[in-house]
Homo-oligomer: A and B are copies of this chain.
Amino acid sequence: MTSTEVRSDQRRTRRKESRPNELLEAALEVFVERGFAATRLEDVASRAGVSKGTLYLYFKNKEELFKAVVRNGILPVIEKAEGLVGQFRGSASELLRSVVKGIWSNVGGTLLSGIPKLIIAESGNFPELAQFYYEEVICRGLAVMQGILRRGMQQGEFRTIDAEPTARAMMGPVLLMMLWQHSFQSFENEPLRAERYFDSYLTLVLDGLQRPALQERLP
């Protein structure tokens, strides 16, 4: 069961600069596969092509390693997303489409999608970390989404809706797809068709289910 994958063939080479990132990458993989408690630091080290002692040269302990993985993986992404929204010119619908697809291609489809899973799983044991994630990622992510909705309403493009809970609801399908890959994808026959899923999702959200003719509520 022990992982023996190794990243660098040469043992005992001195590579102070690149070790932290190699360890963080290996740690993300193992944490996502096994969860925090079940992850053995020896596995993380060997996956990074290094011994356990070396890991402790770069990270104080397991908990600090975990925190570093999360911070390192997530912060750049949210910053990138905020920048992208600020400079966008075009309809709110288009913006919504490209933000959703951007999240998917930068996070969802990569190993980074394991981080939300980690946070959710370990929120009970690391409330401090969950709070960090809540403040630094979720709040900012929701703000981005609310911004899109408000922009659409101001331009007369969107109906008048309650932006705050709607923004939240709109993150649901995106999160679901991230978690899906890690937890259930392997039981399905077909590969994940993320394209089709997100097209359906965006159509649903933009057009709604009810036919225009029936827009007035039924008796």
Contact = CB atoms under 8 A, between A and B. Distances in A.
A35 B173 contact: no
A172 B183 CA distance: 14
Interface of A: 32-38, 91, 93-94, 96, 117, 119-125, 127, 130-131, 134-135, 138, 149, 152, 156-159, 161-162, 165-166, 168-177, 179, 182-184, 186-187, 193, 196-197, 199-201, 203-212, 214-215, 218
The prevalent SS among residues of A at the interface is helix
A183 B184 CA distance: 21
A135 B33 CA distance: 21
Given A120-B120, A158-B210, A165-B193, 16 more contacts: A34-B125, A35-B36, A38-B124, A93-B209, A120-B179, A123-B184, A131-B187, A156-B214, A157-B210, A159-B209, A162-B200, A168-B176, A171-B176, A173-B173, A205-B205, A212-B215
Contacts of A173: 168-170, 172-173
Given A171-B176, A172-B176, A184-B130, A161 B209 contact: yes
A209 B152 contact: yes
12 contacts: A34-B124, A35-B124, A124-B182, A138-B184, A159-B210, A161-B200, A165-B199, A166-B200, A169-B173, A204-B205, A208-B208, A212-B212
Q: What are the nearest 4 A-B pairs in CB distance? A: A208-B208, A121-B121, A172-B172, A172-B173
Contact of A208 (B117, B149, B186, B207): B207
Given A165-B201, A169-B200, A176-B172, A33 B124 contact: yes
B130 A183 contact: yes
Contacts of A168: 173, 176, 197
Contacts of A197: 165, 168-169
Contacts of A134: 184, 187
B183 A123 contact: yes
